[in-house]
Chain A
């Protein structure tokens, strides 16, 4: 485990450098408006390969309106890459020595402006042991709850930092988009109460499932449950994907315009000590299409934004409440 996080570029001579992937990710939740933001900067391909790409994303789901913001793709060589940060023209994320996450974005559509510093309010969730993933592996670490400070404006309206919360993760590995891979991941945050993180790697059909992570953080304490004591189920279907990015890739993959995505995700836990029910209901989905930089191969990342409800007994306390969440369904 490292105390201060940083980017994990491949070592010189890494035979799998061509399959290198890495990203920094930040979700912001505005409990006043219900807005949920996805900010992500990513690197795809070997550092010295001129075909390698850098991608920056800043999108916000605004209830009753839809998804605003956009994505920017550029050559990796044109991105500003530091020890612990990635910057493109319209969006940048970085980690500082204190563990804070710094985010900045100004999308070309003018809908999203962000200049914020998010301070961890929960311990890091380390899953740094590489998990087999398609032709390679994936590793990650997450901070389930952060307190964002600064300016965050969506469609000209400022967000009250006292009514918002954030989640951060950092992923890296070696695989190719288009491998037989997928994942299901979700983060569910309340304003003052618990935060939940769920994650599992899968194959493209979501049949074969890797190790499952389900964690709850509350007041500096954490409870983690294994797949043996939990049950996760999907319910219903979202009628449509409301936005697809980038447009040029969406046009190429018209066959993926109508994916089958769940409307609800329920997670039940009962290990004899804790008993918890969590129900997430998606309001809208956006599809993000990723491309491998050196050969044809694509990944389809669906971000489902919505609300969730929970109740049960955990950490010796009776819990009940609701919050905002985002669930990722990838194949």
Chain B
């Protein structure tokens, strides 16, 4: 086993390759959900442009300064992989940012769910998770406030819409 840490693009390529090898049905679902789509994903100061065209995954390093569809940091991923934080808490605390159309955002979370759902029956995926956890180990976990609802206020547009619908108190 190489002692060098995989880059973000290498982890994504390995995840999809191991899913293809371990669980054909899950791999088909992943390809169905992502077919013909592309997204920029950022982790810490790394960013990659991911596309699925004709069942073929292409991952290209790109600038981390552009507007990504999804962004998070390695502390948050480590906390998610340790099961010490729930995804909704990470989103509410601003540790996972997802921007785009509702469908784009929904599809990227469905893709993550498909990989996670396959992992109990795919030891290779669990090994990748362990490898990531060791490579990005931190002495302390990211701390997350346990918030019941969004920590940020509504926008003017939201207030206007609520008023139009007569939903304001």
Contacts and interface: CB of A to CB of B under 8 A. Distances in A.
B134 A251 contact: no
B12 interface: no
A249 B119 contact: yes
Contacts of B84: 244, 250, 257
B129 A247 contact: yes
B123 A74 contact: yes
B123 A247 contact: no
Interface in B62-102: 80-87
B35 interface: no
Given A109-B134, A291-B120, A291-B121, A251 B83 contact: yes
B86 A246 contact: no
A253 interface: yes
Contact of B81 (A75, A248, A257): A248
Given A73-B126, A73-B127, 5 more contacts: A73-B123, A248-B125, A250-B82, A254-B85, A291-B121
Interface in B110-150: 116-117, 119-121, 123, 125-127, 129-130, 133-134
A243 interface: yes
Contacts of A73: 123, 126-127
A53 interface: yes
Q: Which 3 A-B pairs have the closest CB atoms?
A: A250-B83, A291-B120, A244-B83
A298 interface: yes
A298 B83 contact: no
Contact of A250 (B81, B125, B127): B81
| Chain A: number of interface residues, binned into ranges | 20 to 34
Contacts, number: 70
A254 B85 CA distance: 7
Interface in A1-57: 51, 53
A252 B125 CA distance: 13
A107 to B, nearest CB: 11
Contacts of A287: 83
B117 A243 contact: no
Q: Which of A75, A248, A250: most chain B Cβ within 10 A?
A: A248
B130 A51 contact: no
6 contacts: A249-B119, A250-B82, A250-B84, A253-B83, A255-B86, A298-B120
A194 interface: no
A89 B116 CA distance: 24
A246 B121 CA distance: 12
Majority secondary structure, A binding face: mixed
B61 to A, nearest CB: 25
Interface string A221-245: 0000000000000000000000110
A296 B126 CA distance: 16
B130 A246 contact: yes
Interface in A104-123: 108-109
Contact of A252 (B85, B119, B127): B119
A209 B82 CA distance: 32
B129 A248 contact: yes
A252 B134 contact: no
Contacts of A252: 116-117, 119-120
A27 B87 CA distance: 34
Contacts of A74: 123
A51 to B, nearest CB: 6
Contact of A248 (B87, B119, B134): B119
A293 interface: yes
Nearest to B128: A248
A78 to B, nearest CB: 8
A70 interface: yes
Contacts of B121: 51, 53, 291, 293-294
A20 to B, nearest CB: 16
Contacts of B85: 254, 257
Interface in A84-128: 108-109
Given A73-B126, A108-B134, A249 B120 contact: yes
Contacts of A249: 83, 119-120, 126
Given A74-B123, A291-B120, A247 B86 contact: no
Contacts of A298: 120
